[in-house]
Chains A and B, each alone.
Chain A
Amino acid sequence: MSDPASARSDTFGPDLAEVFGPSQSDGGPDLVQLLTPEGERVHHPEFDHDFSAEELRGLYRDMVLTRRIDVEATALQRHGELGIWAQLLGQEAAQIGAGRALRPQDYVFPTYREHGVAYCKGVDPLRLLGLFRGVDQGGWDPNENNFGLYTIVIGAQTLHATGYAMGMQRDGVVGTGDPERDAAVIAHFGDGASSQGDVNEAFIFAASYNAPVVFFCQNNQWAISEPIERQTRIPLYQRALGFGFPGIRVDGNDVLATYAVTKAALQRAREGNGPSFVEAYTYRMGAHTTTDDPTRYRLNDELEHWKLKDPIERLKVYLRRNGLVDQEFFDDLDAEAKEMGHHLREGCKALPDPKPLDQFGYVFSEMTDEIAAQRDEFAAYLASFEGSHS
């Protein structure tokens, strides 16, 4: 029997083992890194940034609080307060690095897992719970914080992001030379999403119109049970070139590197130099969602391997080793995380259930006669039960 993978490798480039074999589990030679898993600061010729102690502490704090949001929400799901939760454990650096690189005027198009980016954009973490609790399907005003609604249909938001960026071009807020004014869009998605037609069409539009959009893919190695090999034969970041814009792979567990790389990509977009693709090479340490059971498809060794690359631990080591933090810092942060946890627990239970009759009002911008009639009929039907059950 011929093996299609090896038959192809002779003439058409690398075979799967070469691209995805053990030698590549560290992200390969092109991985941009500023902080090693051991907490060593390294430098990169193109993407570097002079982080102040304050900035470093801030990034650490953000990651810790983001993890807390995730842990609390997971616990709330276990207690039956949420129907489901999409965990981000392990992806804190990718999200905080990207989130902190944004300016207020930049606009985010998230998937359903961008809890850390939402937090950076100033969305109250409590608002993220509504969709998962089943009390709403969004819960925040996307234009208030320039943070779009969570998108469940895989990849759909990348086209919205591109269109929004095209709108920015037309509004003259790209490449004006005024850093307070110039704006860009970031679209988040997963490695699995890269297979969707929508995502590929977004790449074409963005390239064709030179739209100010950064495609930010968190390659967490898995799309539910399907490994990255099921979505691509080449490292994802290399795809961008085929669409006509630069792609770069950054260590997604290194918050300094994701920050620096995303910042550069956003800047490029704001200045009018078009789209780019950032592949944050990371790992989903938890399950896909709280209903998923990764033991059915994933080896524990792999998880153990990635635990050693924990994004929070490595920055902690660096901060400690360089005397940038003291015990008081950790105590304060601990208190702040507890406070956040309390806010989420109490707030979640207090989220009001939607009112059945109100829902009719949101179908269109104005009520139609037909829907009003259905609402009234339903109201009369509900009223017919009143008193009958007491």
Chain B
Amino acid sequence: MTHQKITLAKGLNMGLRKAMEADDKVLLMGEDVGKLGGVFRITDGLQKDFGEDRVIDSPLAESGIVGTAVGMALRGYRPVIEIQFDGFVYPAYDQIVCQVAKYTYRSQGKVKMPIVIRIPFGGGIGAVEHHSESPEAQFAHTPGLKVVACSNPVDGYWMIQQAIAHDDPVIFLEPKRQYHADKAELDESATPEPLFTSRVVRAGTDATVLAYGPTVKTALKAAEAAETEGRNLEVIDLRTLSPLDMAPVLESVRRTGRCVVTHEAHVNLGMGAELAARITEECFYSLEAPVLRVGAFDMPYPPSRIEEEYLPDLDRVLDAVDRTFAF
């Protein structure tokens, strides 16, 4: 069956399976990834088929999980780690930024760290604290780590395989709100886009909206709504946050002259700040308005009853679009 309709959760599950079939050095590790199939069921059925030596239920210790993955990678394995929720990556932060990120550099390229750290990220699921965070900037700010974010089922399927096959450590962000949300048609025989590339997901002429992960859907909805007001927005799914694939972005902004960046993470020192700076540096004379950012305020993620007010939604993206046209 090469054509089927799948959710993001299914795409990731299938992608993990493919990667494990393709290379027997690929191991999955994490809390509850075995029998339970992960709290989001992304690893469902994999332990049954690949055994406990390859789908490893780890002790409840994130620093331990990442630290042992470093050792496994040194031994020639390709560990794929699941961090249960975004907010629980911090106990492993030291191992990730000080060890995983620096081994290749410290060994002057003699050692590779093909570790994938999968993190369900972002909010909007009505969870309690530490279950809705967007920590991407913390990792994108760390040299030696690559950071990608998928936004749809098909990308989930391909990107996870590509990340696993990649020889550098990859922080792999999965928009948990999207896991079971929409289905898309997967053609397994297609040729996937390369991993570290951005993609125009909606062509437009009047302004460019940059998004990744959970906000891609928001941006697309905003573009639809803007259409009815006679504005034609181009939407780019960044897909890769480090390295950033700027070529499609710059090309687009040079054409449209306006840009809005949206993400769920805090605006202050976030991905939007980096994008705005680079766009300003590269397309200063094409810009009709400053690059605007739509993201979180500089406060901790709020109680879930008001998360809808806090998360960038269609209205806030449109509001920013309006503001770019007001210049």
A interface residues, Cβ below 8 angstroms from B? 83-84, 112, 130-137, 152-154, 192-193, 195-198, 223-226, 230-231, 291-292, 296-297, 353-356, 359-360, 362-363, 370-371, 374-375, 378, 381-382, 384-385
Contact = CB atoms under 8 A, between A and B. Distances in A.
A356 B304 CA distance: 11
Nearest to A381: B319
B91 interface: yes
Contact of B316 (A136, A362, A381): A381
Contact of A370 (B36, B298, B300): B298
Interface string B34-54: 111101000000000000000
Contacts of B87: 152-153
Nearest to A192: B60
Interface in B125-169: 126-131
Contacts of B130: 152-153
B304 A195 contact: no
A363 B301 CA distance: 10
Contacts of A354: 302-303, 305-306
Contacts, number: 116
5 contacts: A130-B303, A192-B60, A193-B60, A231-B59, A359-B306
Contacts of A385: 315
A355 B300 CA distance: 14
A230 B57 contact: yes
B227 to A, nearest CB: 20
Given A193-B60, A362-B299, A374-B297, 16 more contacts: A83-B126, A112-B128, A195-B60, A196-B61, A197-B61, A224-B39, A225-B36, A230-B58, A230-B59, A292-B39, A353-B306, A370-B268, A371-B298, A381-B316, A382-B309, A384-B319
B64 interface: yes
Given A131-B128, A193-B60, A196-B60, A360 B305 contact: no
Contacts of A192: 59-60
A378 B312 CA distance: 12
Contact of B299 (A112, A360, A381): A360
B103 interface: no
Contact of A226 (B57, B303, B307, B319): B57
A195 B31 CA distance: 12
A307 B63 CA distance: 36
B131 to A, nearest CB: 8
B130 to A, nearest CB: 5
Given A192-B60, A225-B32, A297-B36, A134 B305 contact: yes
A296 B126 contact: no
A225 B303 contact: no
A175 B197 CA distance: 64
B91 A196 contact: yes
Nearest to A132: B128
Interface of B: 31-32, 34-37, 39, 57-61, 63-64, 87-88, 90-91, 126-131, 268, 297-300, 302-307, 309-310, 315-316, 319
B128 A137 contact: yes
Contact of A356 (B31, B36, B298, B302): B302
Contacts of A225: 32, 34-36, 57
Nearest to B308: A356
B246 to A, nearest CB: 28
A3 to B, nearest CB: 12
Residue among A231, A354, A356, A360 having the largest count of chain B Cβ atoms under 10 Å: A356
Given A134-B304, A225-B57, A353-B306, A296 B64 contact: no
Contacts of A154: 60, 88
Contacts of B299: 359-360, 362-363, 371
B306 A224 contact: no
User: Which 9 A-B residue pairs are closest in the complex by CB-CB distance?
Assistant: A134-B304, A225-B36, A192-B60, A195-B59, A195-B61, A297-B35, A134-B305, A356-B309, A83-B126
Contacts of B310: 356, 359
Contacts of A371: 297-299
A112 B127 CA distance: 14
Contacts of A134: 126, 128, 303-305, 307
A296 B36 contact: yes
Given A84-B127, A192-B60, A353-B305, A198 B91 contact: yes
Contacts of B37: 296
A137 B129 CA distance: 7
Contacts of B129: 131, 137, 152
A363 B57 contact: no
Contacts of B307: 134
Contacts of A135: 303, 305
Contact of B36 (A137, A195, A224): A224
A325 to B, nearest CB: 39
Nearest to B87: A153
B295 to A, nearest CB: 11
A193 B127 CA distance: 21
A354 B308 CA distance: 12
A114 to B, nearest CB: 15
Contacts of A353: 305-306
B43 to A, nearest CB: 11
A356 B60 contact: no
Nearest to B38: A225
Contacts of B60: 154, 192-193, 195-196, 223, 226, 231
A363 B266 CA distance: 13
Residue among A196, A231, A355 having the largest count of chain B Cβ atoms under 10 Å: A196
B91 A363 contact: no
Contacts of B61: 195-197
A360 B297 contact: yes
B167 to A, nearest CB: 28
A141 to B, nearest CB: 17
Nearest to B319: A381
